[in-house]
Amino acid sequence: MNGHPLAYLDSAATTQKPIQVLDAVDDFYRTKNSNVHRGAYALSAEATDAYEGARAKVASFINAGGPDEVVFSRGATTSLNHIAYGWGLNRLSEGDRVVLTIMEHHANVVPWQLVARHTGIELVYLTLDDHYEVDLSGLADLLDERVKVIAFSGMSNVTGTLGPARTLVEAARSVGALVVVDGAQLVPHAPMDVQDLDADFLVFSGHKMLGPTGIGAMWGKPERLEEMEPAEGGGEMIADVGLYESRWAPVPHKFEAGTPPIAQAVGLGAAVDYLQKVGMEAVRDHEHEITGYALKRLADVPDLTVYGPTDPTHRGGAVSFSLADIHAHDIATVLDEHGIAVRAGHHCAKPLLRHLHVPATARASFYLYNTLDEVDRLIDGLLDARRVFGLDA
Q: Active-site residues: which are they?
A: 348
CB-based burial, 215-243: b 16+ in 10 Å, e otherwise: bbbbbbbeebbeebebbbeeebbbeeeee
Strand order in the sheet with 201-205: 70-73, 216-220, 201-205, 178-182, 147-153, 97-101, 122-126
CB atoms near residue 111 (< 10 Å)? 23
| DSSP for residue 249 | P
In the chain, the largest separation of any two C-alpha atoms, in whole Å, equals: 76
Contact 120, 93 (CB under 8 A): yes
Beta pairing, strands 343-345 & 340-341: unpaired
Tell me how far apart the alpha carbons of residues 255 and 250 are, in angstroms, rounded to a whole number. Answer: 9
Burial (0-12, 13-18, 19+ Cβ within 10 Å), 293: middle
Beta pairing, strands 178-182 & 201-205: parallel
Nearest to 115 by CA among 69, 194, 175, 178: 178
Which residues 6+ apart lie within 8 Å of 51 measured at CB?
Answer: 36, 260, 262, 265, 266
Which residues 6+ apart lie within 8 Å of 126 measured at CB?
Answer: 99, 100, 101, 102, 134, 135, 136, 138, 139, 152
Question: Please, how many CA atoms are within 13 Å of residue 62, restricted to the half-sphere of its CB?
Answer: 35
Which residues 6+ apart lie within 8 Å of 337 measured at CB?
Answer: 2
**Residue 303 Ramachandran class (φ > 0 left, ψ -120 to 50 alpha, else beta):** left
Contact 72, 60 (CB under 8 A): no
